Amino acid sequence: MDKELADHLERVRAARGELTESIRALEDALAQPAGLGDLWRRRARAALTELAHDLRDHVALTEADGGLYADLRASAPRLAPTVQAQLTDHKYLLDEVDRLLAERDSGEASVDADAHRQAVGDMLARLTRHRQRGTDLIYEAYEVDIGGSG
């Protein structure tokens, strides 16, 4: 593996750590009692905003020209279906985070906290599967473990 790719994978690993922290912060915020009202909504929105930022960084890094997915397409075409699944997830995850932020931004106290928690939980479950598939993809292509927990 050349130095440029190794450096890129290190940036992917660091971004993965940031994303992991954002996921945990969002889970913690959602676990607070919804009865806290505005405080609960502000915490959930702040955590979701941070996750959105880290997710956008992840997408930009992995989809960049000369980045991870470009290298995989060139060096391991057999993995193209898995790369495409990752790209499909990126679109879904970015759209869903934006939708969830808009829901939080509506400012309506009547937005059902349980329904919002469920929708965020569904999105986080897909994000977790995406991260697992990404780890497997990188290992299969480069025999490099980017870390399961951060």
The residues spanned by each domain of the chain are 3-142
| Residue burial 133-147, b: 16+ Cβ < 10 Å; e: rest | ebbebbeebbebebe
Class of domain 3-142: mainly alpha
Position 146 scores a pLDDT of 60
**Other beta carbons less than 10 A from residue 131's beta carbon:** 19
Contact 89, 63 (CB under 8 A): no
Q: What is the pLDDT confidence band of residue 59, given thresholds at 50, 70 and 90?
A: very high
139 Cβ contact list (under 8 Å, min separation 6):
145, 146
Q: Give the pTM.
A: 0.87
